Amino acid sequence: MLVFLNFSRDITETAAASPLCDVVIFYLSPCEGFIKGGANPAPECCVGAKRLIDELKAKEDRIEVCQCIKALLPLLGPFDPNRVPLLGQKCGIKNFFPPITPATDCS
* Global pTM value: 0.78
- Do 45 and 73 meet the contact criterion of CB atoms below 8 Å apart? no
Condensed to tens digits (0 to 9), the pLDDT of residues 26-54 reads 999 999 999 988 889 999 999 999 999 99
Question: What are the DSSP calls for 22-62, one per residue?
Answer: HHHHHHHGGGHHHHTT-SS--HHHHHHHHHHHHH--SHHHH
The domain spans of the chain are 19-91
CATH of domain 19-91: 1.10.110.10
Mean pLDDT of 51-62: 90
